[in-house]
């Protein structure tokens, strides 16, 4: 076991709880997909962590971070994806405003609207296109590898710990959303949350695009 596993897990918990694009996307998908929408978004994000870990082990993350052009291209792609998701959410809320003012049945509020495959894909793409995760694997993991420990094996263990924390977070978050499905089924609440999450995602996308690496 890595000597600094416990400090690493504590740090990862703080990082995971900090609001970011993945959390905003999960909340956005929970509005139309309920518990399943948020859970499968989380599974997509967790799969993205594995992709980043594999890229990091292969050394490609260092190349992306070292290349200003590649890093900027990835950042712009991620920002554009966030803005697109946020804009489509806002557009849908505007379009739904003209529909009859009826609430969704509580059982149907989280099903049938957003498929699990779509939620998973969105979570995966959002996480993979997040340049901050690349830098996280480049700068965070090495700090928790003690001298003398095998670098590859220790990195894999720390990545699995990161993944475990993320899975617990998304499971608890999706259960919380499930407990609120009655509230989320109300049309006014649903539309308000769609506008909030859509605006937040557009704002995050713009911030990612213009912030320095």
Low-confidence ranges of the chain (pLDDT < 50): 100-112
Integer Cα distance of 61 and 197 in angstroms: 30
What are the residue boundaries of the structural domains of the chain, listed by start? Answer: 5-70+97-187
The answer to whether the beta carbons of residues 31 and 197 sit under 8 Å apart is yes
Contact 205, 83 (CB under 8 A): yes
Spatial distance between the Cα atoms of 33 and 70, rounded to a whole number of angstroms: 34
- Residue 111: the pLDDT is 41
Q: CA 210 → CA 16, 54, 129, 185, 200, distances in Å?
A: 23, 28, 15, 36, 15
Return the pLDDT at 44.
96
- pLDDT for the residue 61: 65
* pTM exceeding 0.75: no
């Amino acid at each position: 076991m890595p000597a600094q596993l416990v400090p690493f897990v504590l740090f990862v918990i703080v990082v995971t709880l900090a609001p970011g694009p993945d959390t905003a996307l999960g909340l956005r998908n929970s509005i139309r997909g309920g518990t399943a929408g948020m859970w499968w978004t989380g599974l997509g994000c967790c799969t993205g962590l594995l992709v980043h870990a594999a890229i990091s082990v292969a050394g490609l993350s260092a190349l992306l971070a070292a290349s200003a052009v590649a890093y900027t291209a990835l950042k712009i792609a991620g920002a554009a994806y966030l803005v697109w998701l946020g804009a489509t959410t806002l557009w849908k809320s505007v379009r739904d405003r003209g529909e009859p003012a009826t609430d969704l049945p509580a059982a149907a509020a989280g099903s049938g609207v957003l498929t699990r495959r779509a939620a998973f894909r969105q979570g995966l793409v959002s996480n993979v296109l997040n340049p901050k995760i690349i830098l996280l694997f480049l700068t965070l993991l090495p700090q928790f590898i003690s001298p003398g420990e095998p670098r590859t094996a220790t990195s894999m263990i720390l990545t699995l710990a990161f993944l475990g924390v993320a899975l617990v977070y998304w499971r608890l978050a999706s259960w919380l959303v499930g407990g609120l499905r009655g509230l989320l089924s109300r049309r006014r609440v649903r539309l308000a949350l769609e506008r909030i999450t859509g605006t937040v995602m557009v704002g995050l996308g713009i911030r990612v695009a213009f912030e320095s690496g």
